[in-house]
Amino acid sequence: MVRAPLPKENKREMFGVADQLLGASKIKIMCADGKSRMGRIPGKLKKRMWMREGDLLIIRPWEFQDDKADIIYRYTRTQSSYLARKKAIPETINIF
């Protein structure tokens, strides 16, 4: 069994897939609601957790600017495949 945190709906979190690395701690993300957003990697994840294109992420859209989001968590490949098998990932972004 693999431990994997899930997005919290009451905190407006959702799944997203890293689409394109833009540099300067920014990533273009395809979100579960069908929108493409600009994601910001916070400082506590910057050196600790390296991001690649195709990574499954938990994101939180900004309340005042809906086309931007903060990255909360990055799943490993094992966690992504586990969530895909359990059908926890929405079909719109399930590439695993």
CATH code of 55's domain: 2.40.50.140
pLDDT grade, residue 92 (50/70/90)?
Answer: confident
**What is the C-alpha to C-alpha distance for residues 94 and 24, in angstroms, rounded to an integer?**
27
For tokens 């506590």, name the residue. Answer: 44
Give pLDDT tens digits for 34-57: 899 999 988 877 777 788 899 999
For 50, the domain range is: 9-85
Is 3 a residue whose pLDDT tops 70? yes
Q: Is residue 19 part of a domain?
A: yes
Q: What is the pLDDT of residue 1?
A: 56
